[in-house]
Amino acid sequence: MTPAGRPGAGGGRVAPTDGAWSVSDVTRRARALVEAGFNRLWVRGEVSGFKAFQSGHWYFTLRDAQAQVRCVMWRSDNQRATSPEEGTQVYVEASPTVWEERGEFRLTVRQLLPTDASGLWQLRLERARAALERDGLLDPARKRPVPPWPERVAVITSADGAAVHDIVSVLARRWPLAEVLLIPTRVQGEGAELDVLAALGVANRLPVDVAIVGRGGGSREDLWVFNSERVARAVAALSVPVISAVGHETDVTLTDLVADLRAATPSAAAAAATPDRAAVLPLVGGLARRLAHGLERRTELGRERLARTGDRLEATIREHTHRRSARLAELAAALDALSPLRVLERGYAVARDDDGRVLKRIAEFPPGRHFRLTVSDGDVGARAEGRPA
């Protein structure tokens, strides 16, 4: 094999006089070609021979049925990764290169993710989550309390899944006072994302108190629409508190993260959305008791007040009567004082003619006139003697 030209990228180097390349030159050339020929890329493969060195760097081989490639992941890159199990499928984001010392083609791994068939989804999820976090949508302070007495509950889920059935039966048992507004949507498959977005838009135009968004359990792929960043943002933008119910115990979806409350199942979401009427009846009973007691207390106070009022009234009347009788005595005394007998007793006398008319003037006493004089104890006959003095 004849070299096609000057090896390596380093200037000033002189080709060997026998026309042969040095090992260093060829590996350096190979490295340059490889590094220039690949962008950073995602590679999927099975991990074998994993070894974490004292230095903190990781070395392993990725293989599939036909080939294998050596990999290194520097300590600075692997610090936030979980070391892969032997034999597991992983995705690595890596830059292909040539390790000149060994003339070995290998991948310098920047990121390593478990696949279980969704490694790239996982990657997208991580990015979407970071974006939501950056916008403050994962802030716990954003979370709104669920209203205590909901009148209308929006339910955004598939019309024919188990979820809607579970939600309705729990609501019927716990809080049949509510009205359920079911906004049916596809929750998986082609078009599900747009469908859920439309349903969330409808929910925002309804006079509801709380919304439940979700579906029953399914595979990770089945739940994927609830990991859509657009769906998560629409959920966060709902005008009422949202309870997420993406039925899967282990996976927390983006929708779960932005919801005001996360429930593990649709049934749990329905329970979280409503009070239990069985627990509310005693509350009403308590109000009934307070009402009765309140009135009793009021009437008790009223009775006391009435009693006090009665006492005052009686006293007033008594005083009044007393004063009145004193006045009567006074009046009686006054009347008494006006009685002519009393005047006569004081030494006065009344003169009357034979007809009983009172004689008050000198002219009524001509000399020789007979008249009667009434004194305190009776009448005496009398005669006028003469002219006035």
Partner 1 sequence: MTNVSFREELDRLEAIVRSLERDDLDLDRALELFQEGVTRLRAARELLEQSELTVRRVLEAADGTIRSEPVDR
The number of residues that bind partner 1 (CB under 8 A) is 38
Q: Report the SS3 class of residue 133.
A: helix
Using the rule CB under 8 A, which residue among 71, 132, 178, 272 binds partner 1?
178
At a CB cut-off of 8 Å and minimum separation 6, what does 136 contact? Answer: 142
Q: Say whether residue 298 binds partner 1 (CB under 8 A).
A: yes
* Nearest approach, Cβ of residue 176 and partner 1 (Å): 4
Alpha carbon distance 185, 235 (integer Å): 14
Q: Say whether residue 301 binds partner 1 (CB under 8 A).
A: yes
Is-contact 37 73, C-beta < 8 A?
A: no
Q: Say whether residue 280 binds partner 1 (CB under 8 A).
A: yes
Using the rule CB under 8 A, which residue among 294, 310, 340, 367 binds partner 1?
294
* Nearest approach, Cβ of residue 281 and partner 1 (Å): 6
Q: Contacts with partner 1 in 130-149 (CB under 8 A)?
A: 148-149
Q: Say whether residue 291 binds partner 1 (CB under 8 A).
A: yes
Q: In the numeric block, which tokens belong to residue 224?
A: 């994927």
Q: In the numeric block, which tokens belong to residue 276?
A: 């239990």
Alpha carbon distance 45, 89 (integer Å): 5
Is-contact 62 79, C-beta < 8 A?
A: no
Q: What is the largest CA-CA distance in the chain?
A: 203
Q: Say whether residue 349 binds partner 1 (CB under 8 A).
A: no
Instruction: Identify which range of 58-66, 197-205, 245-253, 351-359 contacts partner 1 by CB under 8 A.
Output: 197-205
Using the rule CB under 8 A, which residue among 90, 107, 171, 259 binds partner 1?
171
Phi, psi dihedrals of residue 126, rounded to the nearest 5°: -60, -40
Instruction: Identify which range of 113-121, 202-210, 259-267, 330-338 contacts partner 1 by CB under 8 A.
Output: 202-210
Q: Which is nearer to partner 1, 159 or 326 (CB)?
A: 159
Using the rule CB under 8 A, which residue among 9, 117, 130, 177 binds partner 1?
177
Q: Which is nearer to partner 1, 75 or 298 (CB)?
A: 298
Q: Which residue has the tokens 């119910």?
A: 245
Q: Say whether residue 313 binds partner 1 (CB under 8 A).
A: no
Instruction: Identify which range of 119-127, 129-137, 177-185, 377-385 contacts partner 1 by CB under 8 A.
Output: 177-185
Closest C-alpha to 277, from 150, 167, 152, 182: 150
Is-contact 42 91, C-beta < 8 A?
A: yes
Interaxial angle between packed helices 229-236 and 192-203, expressed in degrees from 0 to 180 and rounded to the nearest 10: 10
C-alpha atoms less than 13 angstroms from C-alpha of 25 in its C-beta half-sphere: 17
Q: Say whether residue 162 binds partner 1 (CB under 8 A).
A: no
Closest C-alpha to 265, from 215, 220, 311: 215
Instruction: Identify which range of 34-42, 87-95, 133-141, 282-290 contacts partner 1 by CB under 8 A.
Output: 282-290
Alpha carbon distance 226, 242 (integer Å): 13
Q: Contacts with partner 1 in 213-272 (CB under 8 A)?
A: none
Q: Report the SS3 class of residue 274.
A: coil
Q: In the numeric block, which tokens belong to residue 269?
A: 């979401």
Q: Say whether residue 205 binds partner 1 (CB under 8 A).
A: yes
Using the rule CB under 8 A, which residue among 183, 223, 236, 269 binds partner 1?
183
Closest C-alpha to 93, from 142, 143, 39: 39
* Nearest approach, Cβ of residue 195 and partner 1 (Å): 11
Q: Say whether residue 351 binds partner 1 (CB under 8 A).
A: no
* Nearest approach, Cβ of residue 308 and partner 1 (Å): 14
Alpha carbon distance 17, 13 (integer Å): 12
* Nearest approach, Cβ of residue 166 and partner 1 (Å): 13
Site residues for partner 1 per CB under 8 A:
148-149, 151, 154, 159, 168, 171-172, 175-184, 198, 201-202, 205-206, 277, 280-281, 284, 287-288, 290-291, 294-295, 297-299, 301-302
